[in-house]
Amino acid sequence: MEGNDAKKGSENLEERVGELEKIADSLGEVPDDEIVETLDRAVGLLGEINARIESGLDEAAGETRELGSLLEGVSFGPFDETLEELEKREREPDGPGA
């Protein structure tokens, strides 16, 4: 379900960026009496894009905190000990790296 929401959000964001690009490309052709409306629409799109990006960053930060909490509960002691032992063997003159 979250994957669908993320995909829809991404597609919606892409649509907004595409719309903003069209506005930017057409600015030179916009009549003077419509320029304020056009720029207002561009500012609105930028606001939407910014809000979605900030929301995504907040969501990612939350996930990072969750992962950090999970990793704090994991003991890497046996892994670290094995890694140290392998490194020690490699440094020995008659070790596997010799």
Q: Which residues contact 92 (CB under 8 A, 6 or more apart)?
A: 98
Query: Tens digit of pLDDT for each residue in 1-55?
Result: 556 666 777 788 899 999 999 999 999 999 999 999 999 999 999 999 999 999 9
pLDDT over 90 at 95, yes or no: no
| pLDDT score for 11 | 85
- pLDDT value at position 40? 96
Give the count of domains, the chain.
1
Q: Which domain holds residue 12?
A: 2-91
**Does the residue 36 lie in any domain?**
yes
- Scanning 1-98, the segments in alpha helix (DSSP H) are 2-26, 35-72, 77-91
Could you tell me if residue 97 is inside a domain? no
pLDDT at 64: 95
Cα separation, 86 vs 4, whole angstroms? 45
